[in-house]
Amino acid sequence: MPSDKLHLSLGPVLFYWTRDHYVDFYREAADWPVDIVTLGETVCSRRRDMKLDDWLGIGRELAQSGKQVVLASQTLIESEADLRDLRKLCDNGDFIVEANDQSALQRLSSARLPFIAGAALNLYNPATLGVLARTGMQRWQAPVEMSRDDLTRLIADCRQAGVNQPCEVFAYGHLPLAWSSRCFTARRHQKPKDRCQFVCQQYPEGLALRSQESKEVFTLNGIQTLSGACQDLRHELSAMTEMGVSVARLSPRAEGMPEVVQAFHQARSGELPAPDPLALVDAELCDGYWYGRPGMDNSRTQTG
């Protein structure tokens, strides 16, 4: 990976796709200008089209194409079965793991394995990052709700405290905002979660939740709730580099991902076209968190 520019990473697919869809997606992704690819099911343990071995297989192919491969752990761990899967993931032997909850931190730190610290671990201050640095953290993700100003300060304070691990920012996609034991997609279909018939697989980009005035407020994705608008920080990549952010994460979507990656690649190379009113894909955009505002706000549609 070149070190003089911002790295691009492809986040895990948050939605439930078919096996063929994942395989095709990653076959294409092997040729995209991303440096890091994070694989795995982070949302729901009932989604079983892909087994650990399948992810490992895809991971090896991506590694051969020069990608750094990461395996992400499930964010909400609820059962003994979840813990067994987590153990297998942590012990995979090939790829570094992104820890998305403290169960994963425990498995990885007690086995003295290095890890990436995920955004849902709530890393808001240098003291917390110091704890994780001493337990094996190699890279960390800023909380999705953190502003540019707070992050600038946090990175600077971390460096002062001797915590120099690289930081990753969620730069593109619907923001992961909440996890529940209830499945909201199954609820829409009036099915109990235990017999959900995998209805979330019908929605490869999630299910829009709108206000009664048709504003897209959230996106339902099984037990996970994502933002209604799609965060796009393409125009902030040079600011990120200046602040000391090392990696910009792009969250996969079913349609238009090659264009998204290409646009970010051009932006990090300084080829940002003049402010483009057209979205990369057909989704409402937001960037409010970055400017210390409500996450749903979009600086490009505001006046004054």
Site for another protein in 156-175 (CB under 8 A): 157, 175
- Using CB under 8 A as the binding rule, the residues of this chain from 48 to 77 that contact another protein are 75-77
- Footprint (CB under 8 A) of another protein, residues 204-263: 207-215, 217-218, 220, 225, 227
Single out the segment in contact with another protein by CB under 8 A; choices: 44-52, 58-66, 116-124, 257-265. 116-124
CA distance 11 to 285: 18
Compose the 128-157 pattern: x for residues touching another protein by CB under 8 A, - for all others: xxxxx--x-------xxxx---xx-xx--x
Site stretch for another protein (CB under 8 A), options 16-24, 123-131, 232-240, 264-272: 123-131
Yes or no: say if 175 and 295 are a contact pair by the CB < 8 Å rule: yes
Residue 258's H or E segment, with its range, is helix 257-268
> In terms of C-beta density within 10 A (0-12 exposed, 13-18 middle, 19 or more buried), how is residue 214 classed?
exposed
Instruction: Provide the minimum distance between the beta carbon of 77 and another protein in the complex, in angstroms, as a whole number.
Output: 5
- From residue 5 to residue 44, the character string flagging contacts with another protein as x (rule: CB under 8 A) and all else as - is ----------------------------------------
Give the 3-state DSSP-derived string for 31-61, with helices as H, strands as E and coil as C.
Answer: CCCCCEEEECCCCCCCCCCCCHHHHHHHHHH
**CA–CA distances in Å: residue 233 to residues 75, 174, 257:** 24, 12, 15
Residue 167 marked as a ligand binder: no
CB 154 within 8 A of CB 126: yes
DSSP 12: P
**Distance of alpha carbon 109 from alpha carbon 104, whole angstroms:** 8
* Total interface residues for another protein by CB under 8 A: 74
**Out of 23, 52, 113, 177, which residue is the one contacting another protein (CB under 8 A)?**
177
Q: Which residues are annotated as a binding site for [4Fe-4S] cluster?
A: 44, 183, 196, 200
